[in-house]
Amino acid sequence: MDKKQHIAIFTTASLPWLTGTAVNPLFRAAYLAKDGEREVALVIPWLKLKDQEHVYPNNITFNSPQEQEKYVRQWLEERTGFRSSFRICFYPGIFSLHKRSILALGDITEVIPDEEADVAVLEEPEHLTWYHHGKRWKTKFRLVIGVVHTNYLEYVRREKNGQLQAFLLKFVNSWVVNIYCHKVIRLSAATQDLPRSVVCNVHGVNPRFLDIGLKKREQQENGDQPFAKGAYYIGKMVWSKGYKELLKLLHENQKELTGLEVDLYGSGEDSGQVEEAAKKLEITVRVHPGRDHGDPLFHDYKVFLNPSTTDVVCTTTAEALAMGKIVVCANHPSNDFFKQFPNCRTYDDNEGFVRETRKALQDHPSPLTDAQRHKLSWEAATERFLKSAELDNVVKKLTKTPSKLFLSTSLSFRRNLEDASAFIHHVGTGFFTKEPDEEQCKELGLPVPPKKQSYPSRKWAFWS
């Protein structure tokens, strides 16, 4: 029998943090492993208790990686309805308050043994390689595929000196992705163009939302009224997640939208400001704490308003469509995948937003067909991933380089240039990276790294 292909999926977050890079790679691992044709490992960060308290909601913390793995598997099984066969591995991480994200400590490629290093999937390849200081990904693995989740350029443009930051970040992202990835999948054209990249939405919808949509379709077929509520929006309550755009649209079109009522659901550092801004509107806008989008509270809403343009492919938009709702969203590259569904209504300006919102509130949603439901599913997303990544075609052609070699001996000018670039990055990140401490190493069963001299620049560069 042929040896099974090993796929290691590295990501930048984990449950119970319900962010896209925690949820989507988890489903990807489950569905890639479902048919038993591949050996799949999901590699996620392990945080110290103080960082868990910052990141994880509802005071959920774990005393050991095993305890967190049990939580993750139970959450997944409740939503997929099947027991997954993939492995879960942990790498040491630290939460950066400044960047509001998790960063890896040490060389996380070591989590996967050399004999199993066939394919690496880097969920957020820029994020995972900005500070990577260790074995080169392309040297360790036969094939390295990046999946770009986040429009980092759009986020930094909203900060102080945003245009300059975006210019520099665009260069850095292209540089590290070129060094470490053989191929890149961009979820939508909203992301920056990267070397050797293709655009394809390889994410699916939690099966729970498709089940909700199926029940709504059955209600419609029986002549019942399945949607008794009006318009809502759900998302992390920070201005950059669409709240600024939505409240601006409502403010500028109050007379045209007289009688409209909107419920906002979310939790985040800008909750207070969002609530204050909502109170100033003539339109009724109610602000509620964040809840799971699958909560029965949301089942009867008919219209999902989502003006956000910072998402690459918005998970909540996909979930709303799966539940059979009408979605009103911006005519933006991040929403291109959703335009194929009749319940997706896009707008270009204020007039279009008013027109589509009023029409959506009057219309009955079109019941999702079986074919449309399949396109939203993780089964279809996995098919798109395998096709875009070209795993079967590419892996056979790639020869593995001995992992001890850092610079290739190839005579190819392009390869030598890339190797030199990788060496510069390797040396440079030595000033900014940090090794896991003794406690984390013991928790993960890793060898304790020898103590080395710290650099004064590390503190501000890494997690200030």
Q: Is the pLDDT of residue 451 over 80?
A: no
Tabulate helix, strand, coil % of the chain (nearest 5).
Answer: 45, 15, 40
Q: What is the reported pLDDT for 240?
A: 85
- Tell which residue, 140, 165, 33, has the closest CA to residue 88: 33
Q: Which residues contact 357 (CB under 8 A, 6 or more apart)?
A: 231, 257, 260, 303, 305, 328
Give the residue-averaged pLDDT of 212-216: 96
Of 356-370, 382-396, 410-424, which range is least confident? Answer: 410-424
Q: Is the pLDDT of residue 342 over 70?
A: yes
Six token digits for residue 247: 């409240």
Give the residue-averaged pLDDT of 166-193: 90
CATH level 3 topology of 5-204+380-394: Rossmann fold (3.40.50)
Q: Say if domain 207-376 classifies as CATH 3.30.300.30.
A: no
- Measured over all CA atoms, what is the biggest interatomic distance in the chain, rounded to whole angstroms? 72
Q: Which residues contact 62 (CB under 8 A, 6 or more apart)?
A: 52, 68, 71
- Helix runs in 158-242, H state only: 162-180, 207-221
Q: Are 283 and 260 in contact (CB under 8 A)?
A: yes
**Global pTM?**
0.86
Q: Are 133 and 179 in contact (CB under 8 A)?
A: no
Of 320-329, 338-347, 397-406, which range is least confident? Answer: 397-406
Q: What is the reported pLDDT for 162?
A: 81
CA dist., res. 18 & res. 58, Å (int): 12
Predicted confidence band of residue 200 (pLDDT cuts 50, 70, 90): very high
Q: Share the mean pLDDT of the chain.
A: 87
pLDDT in tens, 37-67: 999 999 999 999 999 998 998 899 999 999 9
Give the residue-averaged pLDDT of 89-97: 93
Choose the most confident range, by mean pLDDT, from 147-156, 182-191, 400-409: 182-191
Domain ranges of the chain: 5-204+380-394, 207-376
Q: Is the pLDDT of residue 195 over 60?
A: yes
Of 407 and 68, more confident: 68
Q: Are 118 and 5 in contact (CB under 8 A)?
A: yes
Six token digits for residue 131: 């500070």
- Tell which residue, 391, 369, 449, has the closest CA to residue 133: 449
